[in-house]
Chains A and B, each alone.
Chain A
Amino acid sequence: MTGVLLHAEHVTRRFGRFKAVDDVSMQVQPGEVVGLLGANGAGKTTLIRMLLGLIAATSGRVELLGGPPDRQRRRRLGYVPQGLGLYGDLTVRENLTFSARAYGAAEPLLPSALTRYAGVLIRDVPLGAQRQVAFLAALAHSPDVLVLDEPTSGVDVLAGASLWDTIRAQAEHGAGILVTTHYMQEAQQCDRLLLMADGRLVAEGSEADIVGSTTAVAVRTDNWAQAFAALDRAGAPVMLEGRAIRVANTDPAELAEVLKAAGIEASLQKVPATIEERMLILARGAKAS
Chain B
Amino acid sequence: MNYSVRSATVRFGSTLALDDVTVEVPAGSVVAVVGGDGAGKSTLLRALAGEVRLESGTVEAPPRQRLGYLPASSGSWAALTVTQNIDFVAGIYGLAGDELTARRAELLDRASLTPAAGRLAAQLSGGMRRKLGFVMAIVHRPSLLILDEPSTGVDPVSRIDLWRLVSEAAASGTAVLMSTTYLDEAERAAHLVVLDSGRVLVQGSYDQVRAGFPGVVTQTSEPVREEWAWRRGRLRHEYWPGADPPPGAILAEPDLQDILIALSLARRHMVPS
Contact = CB atoms under 8 A, between A and B. Distances in A.
Given A182-B156, A242-B189, A276-B160, A225 B168 contact: no
Nearest to B255: A188
Contacts of A165: 230-231
Interface in A171-197: 182-185, 188-191
B202 interface: no
A242 B35 CA distance: 19
Interface stretch (B57-65, B83-91, B259-267): B259-267
A239 B160 contact: yes
A225 B155 contact: no
B215 interface: no
B163 interface: yes
A184 B155 CA distance: 13
Contact of B155 (A40, A185, A228): A40
Contact of A188 (B157, B170, B233, B261): B233
B205 A242 contact: yes
A279 B188 contact: no
A240 interface: yes
Interface in B155-200: 155-160, 163-164, 166-168, 170-173, 181-184, 187-190
Given A156-B39, A228-B171, A283-B157, A168 B189 contact: no
A226 B207 CA distance: 23
A155 B261 CA distance: 12
B201 to A, nearest CB: 10
Interface string A213-238: 00000000000110011001000011
A39 interface: yes
Nearest to A154: B181
B264 A157 contact: yes
A225 B231 contact: no
B206 interface: yes
Interface string A241-284: 11100000000000000000000000000000010110110011
Contacts of A153: 152-153, 181
Contacts of B260: 157
A279 B157 CA distance: 7
Contacts of A283: 156-157
A159 B38 CA distance: 13
A190 B233 contact: yes
Contacts of B207: 242
A185 B255 CA distance: 11
A164 interface: yes
Contacts of B171: 224-225, 228-229, 232, 240
A128 interface: yes
Of the listed residues A129, A161, A168, A191, the one surrounded by the most CB atoms of chain B closer than 10 A to its CB is A161
B30 A240 contact: yes
Contacts of B39: 156
Contacts of B184: 183-185, 274, 276
B164 A158 contact: no
A229 B28 CA distance: 13
B73 to A, nearest CB: 14
A276 B159 contact: yes
A126 interface: yes
B126 to A, nearest CB: 9
B127 interface: yes
Contacts of A129: 37
A127 interface: yes
B157 A280 contact: yes
A241 B159 contact: no
A237 B231 contact: no
Contacts of A40: 125, 127, 155, 157-158
Contact of A239 (B164, B173, B233, B268): B164
B208 to A, nearest CB: 11
24 contacts: A40-B155, A126-B38, A154-B153, A156-B35, A156-B36, A156-B39, A156-B264, A157-B183, A157-B260, A158-B36, A164-B231, A185-B184, A189-B233, A228-B167, A232-B171, A237-B160, A237-B164, A239-B164, A240-B30, A240-B167, A240-B190, A241-B188, A276-B160, A280-B160
Interface of B: 28, 30, 35-39, 125, 127, 152-153, 155-160, 163-164, 166-168, 170-173, 181-184, 187-190, 205-207, 230-234, 257, 260-261, 264-265, 268
Given A228-B171, A239-B160, 7 more contacts: A154-B152, A157-B260, A168-B231, A190-B233, A228-B168, A242-B205, A276-B159
